Every structure is written in C-alpha cells, then in structure tokens.
Amino acid sequence: MPLPSSPRAFDTIETWVFDLDNTLYPAQHDLWHQIDARMKAYISEMLGVAPERAFEIQKDYYRRYGTSLRGLMIEHGMEPGAFLSHVHDIDLSGLDAAPRLAAAVEALPGTKIVYTNGSEQHARNVLEKLGMGAHFAAVHDIVAAEFHPKPTEEAYRRFLDAHGVEPARAAMFEDLARNLEVPHRLGMATVLVVPPGERVLAREDWEFEGRESAYVDHVTDDLAGFLESAVRGSATAG
C-alpha cells in the first residue's frame, strides 16, 4: 500500500512502537479468539456465573477499563498473575513465520518496541513464531505498565518514560483506533492496522470506531508493504 501524504511522516522517526495482537500478525488468525474464550472461562469460574454472563462482564470491563483484567482487579480485587498465565496459554501452531514483515521491521532505522496490554511472555512467544523476536529492543507489557492499560494517558506516559521515547520522533502502530488518540496528542505519528477482511471473529462493533478520526494519521491493511514504503520514504528524505 503506498504511503499516504500526512503532516506526520517518517523521515525523523527514531522509535517504532507496535501493538502485538491483531497488529503484528493477521487478525484473521484465531489467537485472539482463543484468548477471548479463555478469559470468559476464567471469569465464569472465578465469579461463579454462567459463561454467557461471564462474557458480558468481560466485554463490559474491556470497554470501560481498557482491559478485562483491569476491570477485574478494580471491581473484584483479582490477583493478575494467574489470570495472565491462564489466558495466554494458547495454541500457536497455526501461526506461521512472516519473513516479509520480519525483514521490513528489521530494516526500520532506529529502535523497535512492542507495547502490549498482554503479557511479555505471550508477546515473546508470538514474536518467535513470527520470526522477528530478535528485531525488538524491548517488550513493554501490562506488568511493566503497572496494570495501567492503553488507551489511558497515564499508561502511555509510563511507557514513554520507561523507554526514554521522544514522542515527536516516534510512531505508534495499532489495530484499535481508540488506542491512537493519546499517542497522537502527545506528538507521535499514528498508524491504524486494519484486517483485509474487515470483520474479525471475537471483535465488537465499537472496536471499529474512530477510523476516520483526525488522530489516525495513516491506515493500512498491509503492514509489511507500509513499512517498506516508510523506509523508502525515509531514505529519500535523507
């Protein structure tokens, strides 16, 4: 996909920040569906409610608090370690290596960081399967964020401070538009990664909101191609 014109281009970017799930791997993979199902089962058992009610609680907390985990911690005092271990104990056998994307990430000039509301171990497992584990300088997970999730401003400021990131020289890649509002306001270039098929299993309508908002600088359904174009544009500008 050609790089669109934007006031926030990539020739001065020094730090490339990527969400993990449904961003660095195609959203049509069933990884998030597995995580979603395991969250529902955990909440059902923990609260002693039917799976259908557990699912309602899970999605309500996700929307209101940024993650279901955060809601469970606030509303029920849940200890997060066991929850994170359980929900990320998923089958990655269907996830293939992504050599073109791995090469595009490796070619980016500067520092590459994964910033996820999930766990570091889950992120590293996925990155190894994708063949790009060596290309990222760090993984900033929900534990490193002290359980303050995206899209809260506090979460992003903690991230920026932890890694010494200058927002005006950083780009953020996300599959949820609402997670780009704060980065854009702080000065980061923002890229929304959308699935080619648009609708994806286990996603809700509100998760597709905000794509036309001013805080989304770029939209792509081909992350590898987009990054290749960004590198070419940076080289030309240089």
Look up the CATH number of the domain holding residue 103.
3.40.50.1000
Give the pLDDT mean for 37-55: 96
Residue 207 pLDDT: 61
pLDDT value at 4 more than 50 = no
Cβ contact 114:123 at 8 Å? yes
Instruction: Identify the residue whose tokens are 């990131």.
Output: 165
Are 121 and 198 part of one and the same domain? Answer: yes
Residue 3 to residue 223: CA distance in whole angstroms? 11
Residue 163 to residue 120: CA distance in whole angstroms? 15
Residue 195 to residue 24: CA distance in whole angstroms? 11
1 assigned to some structural domain: no
Query: Which runs of consecutive H residues, i.e. helices, occur in the chain?
Result: 31-47, 51-65, 68-76, 80-87, 99-107, 120-130, 153-163, 181-186, 223-237
Residue 1 pLDDT: 41
Are 65 and 159 part of one and the same domain? Answer: no
Where residue 120 falls among pLDDT bands split at 50, 70, 90? very high
Are 191 and 230 part of one and the same domain? Answer: yes
Are 83 and 106 part of one and the same domain? Answer: no
Residue 28 pLDDT: 72
Where residue 234 falls among pLDDT bands split at 50, 70, 90? low
Are 57 and 117 part of one and the same domain? Answer: no
Residue 5 pLDDT: 42
153 assigned to some structural domain: yes
145 assigned to some structural domain: yes
Cβ contact 36:202 at 8 Å? yes
- Tell me the average pLDDT of the chain: 89
pLDDT value at 201 more than 90 = no
Are 150 and 75 part of one and the same domain? Answer: no
Are 211 and 105 part of one and the same domain? Answer: yes
Give the pLDDT mean for 216-227: 94
Are 79 and 103 part of one and the same domain? Answer: no
Are 83 and 122 part of one and the same domain? Answer: no
Provide the CATH number for the domain around residue 78: 1.10.150.450
Residue 32 pLDDT: 83
Residue 30 pLDDT: 76
pLDDT digits (tens, 9 = 90+) for 152-189: 999 999 999 999 999 999 999 999 999 999 999 999 99
Kindly state the percentage of the chain with pLDDT values over 90.
Answer: 77
Residue 238 to residue 9: CA distance in whole angstroms? 13
Kindly state the percentage of the chain with pLDDT values over 70.
Answer: 88
- Residue ranges making up the domain that contains 212: 15-26+96-237
216 assigned to some structural domain: yes
Pick from 28-37, 77-86, 117-126: least confident: 28-37
Cβ contact 25:128 at 8 Å? no
pLDDT value at 39 more than 90 = yes
